[in-house]
Structure 1
């Protein structure tokens, strides 16, 4: 190899190139980590109603470590996602020293029993709320189905000025709705929309006219529905007066 100058020249050029690359990499590493590229501006945006300024400042102070180049965006995103009301986080760098953070909050649709809240996407999240939200009850994994069912039933009941306060979906896919006035509506699992539509259509001319309090309605009948009224007392039936029995008189004929 030593008697081949062209090969030696090629090898020397390769070593020079590698050395230059290593030098540039080391120089870039030093420059990037210099404190001359700090993040000077952090802009947080989003329609924020539950996330407080104090929570954001705490994360900025304790989780955002590094310069404009070395700041770990994935770690920063996960730090914001730990906040109870945060649904999604998007982060962008803007040269030379600005960080833009956009936060999307959960929009609470209902309560999932007494354990969590459900957002408008049918997703569970763990947060506290004092708002008067309806309650959804069902098996794990039925959150989306129950959320869609609640929205549909809410719209269907609007013409009679009723709102679902609690909706249950059993393991057999049977629906049960408790309205805001305390009335429980048993819908069942078949023809759910059709049964509820018939109930809404018949309500103004039937239950709405009754003075007694309605407690329970069963829609699982093909041609109507059954109603339970705890305060209903049937009027006593008046007994018909007895008709006196008159024996016919027998007239004797003269012999």
Structure 2
């Protein structure tokens, strides 16, 4: 190609023309602000939203931000300012803004997907990130140091999968400052997992669940799985259920 003088001439002219146009736009504000570059369309879409509708972000919120933050021409509009405004909405995790030649902007929003509640003060999304928003949806609770929310979220998903064969729903996961795990299930059982081999211990509980139920006539309220060669089970004494007095038995 480099031996073809005609091709080189056309390429050189194209580069020169492009450079000249860029120079004109940079140097001349009058060109930048021509009506042809006035923004007249802003499209807003979402990641994984259904039928173009958001689950939590309201159309009124979107319109308000567009009205207040979209200003200037195609070249002068502040994309960072717009994305920052959208990311201040409670349910927006990320916002990306792109220009589309010559008069349009595209905004793509990613909403938080709530996974759990955090100490009744905030929510945790599926990425383990803590955010402040309001929802009426039932969610399990995470307790423990906030800085460990990512780890708790990941472990919760594993715990939930392991308990699925028993159809036991986790309502709370406790993670102590000493890194000890405890699970509360919807049917009133507390599973003490400790700090080591927590998944193996939970698998032991799942495999022994039928045996546990068959051995105890009273409702099981607590299973301590921290033993090396077994576990202990606490039940409500059938004769004392009115006083909620527990009894404890070790199973080897």
Cα displacement (A) at 1:51: 0.6
Aligned counterpart in structure 2 of residue 213 of structure 1, from 219, 223, 227? 219
Contact 1:89 1:104 in 2 (8 A): yes
Residue aligning to 2:249 = none
Partners of 1:41 and 1:123 lie apart in 2 by 33
The answer to whether residue 247 in structure 2 is matched with residue 230 in structure 1 is no
- Cα 1:232–1:222 shift into 2, 3 Å: farther
Residue aligning to 2:63 = 57
- Cα 1:136–1:36 shift into 2, 3 Å: same
Map 1:37-116 onto structure 2 (within 5 A). 37-46=37-46, 47=49, 48-116=54-122
Map 1:182-193 onto structure 2 (within 5 A). 182-193=188-199
Larger Rg: 1
Question: Alignment partner of 1:114: what SS?
Answer: coil
| TM-score after normalising by structure 2 | 0.79
Contact 1:185 1:218 in 2 (8 A): yes
- Structure 2 unaligned regions, length at least 5: 1-22, 241-252
Cα displacement (A) at 1:208: 5.8
Cα displacement (A) at 1:64: 1.1
Map 1:1-255 onto structure 2 (within 5 A). 24=24, 28-46=28-46, 47=49, 48-207=54-213, 210-233=216-239
**1:120-176 superposed Cα distances (whole Å, 9 cap, x missing partner):** 111111111111111011113101110011000000001111021100111111101
- Structure 1 unaligned regions, length at least 5: 1-22, 235-255
Cα displacement (A) at 1:210: 3.7
Contact 1:160 1:204 in 2 (8 A): no
Between the two proteins, the alignment pairs up a number of residues equal to 213
| CA RMSD after TM alignment | 2.0
**1:56-86 superposed Cα distances (whole Å, 9 cap, x missing partner):** 0010111111122211001011011111111
Cα displacement (A) at 1:226: 1.3
- Cα 1:24–1:145 shift into 2, 3 Å: closer
Partners of 2:130 and 2:218 lie apart in 1 by 39
Cα displacement (A) at 1:191: 1.5
